[in-house]
Amino acid sequence: MAVTANQLTKRQEGCRTWYPIAASTTIYEGTLTFITPSGYLDDDTGTAANRFGGIALAYVDNSSGSAGDLKAEVYQEGVFELVGSGFAQTTVGDAIYASDNYTISAVPSASSVYIGMCVGYVSSTKVLVDIDPDGTSPASVVQTKTSAYTVTEADSGKTFSTAGASGAVTFSMPAAVPGLRYRFRVGAAQELRIDPNGTETISLPSTGVPGAAGKYLTADAAGETVSLECVVAGTWSVFGYTGTWTAEA
């Protein structure tokens, strides 16, 4: 309903925010923090399952608490001097990734999380980083899976490979929400299955027609690839593929 009087609207500074802390977790002042798929602040990357949350303003000990018992405030904007190794003047302009709550690198890995861009060189072990908790890594992170894996929303933008697999590998997809996107590559001559959530659907690459409800997409020749993105809630569309992908009968 429209109003015709002044209103007192609560506001929060854009450069800071609060998050409930994950169970049995301690957040240390000045460290990198991460958001779990469940929405709690954590102190590790969760092997890349978590996304960057920001830099902690203060020490908060929830080591004996349950999820959400305590909250911590984090910076979500600003340039910070962070620590790693192998940096040079040429690192300026590179994407920066966190491997734990204090160590960064300009080289992505399967377990690292994108946190921002390098905007200044200090030394071979220190650079200035313009943090970007809401950003998307400009470089695709490749993760190799040789056994069944449950894909998360935090994995959006990643490429999955099954290199080295000795048997079938099933990727269980999260609920299809517009904007989520993933790429898959058959890395070994073993079946790679992409299993939608519940009764959601995946389009058949060769036709673009959604498959039957809840049916997986599969390929088994090394080198075959497929890119999936959700545009309409509840269904995965194909935006490029190689090889032969078939739907579950």
Domains defined for the chain, CATH in brackets: 16-75 (no CATH), 79-131 (no CATH), 142-247 (2.60.120.640)
Which two three-digit tokens encode residue 143?
Answer: 């993760």
pTM of the model: 0.62
pLDDT at 189: 96
pLDDT at 112: 85
- Rounded average pLDDT over 197-209: 94
The residues, any chain, with a CB within 8 Å of residue 83's CB and separated by 6 or more, are 102, 103, 104, 125, 126
- Rounded average pLDDT over 36-63: 93
Q: Is 91 helix (H, G, I), strand (E, B) or coil?
A: helix
* Token pair 């491997």 in the structure block, residue: 99
Q: Phi first, then psi: what are they for 195, rounded to 5°? A: -105, 115
pLDDT at 130: 93
* Contact call for residues 61 and 86 (beta carbons, < 8 A): no
Mean per-residue pLDDT over the chain, rounded: 92
Answer whether residue 153 shows pLDDT above 70.
yes
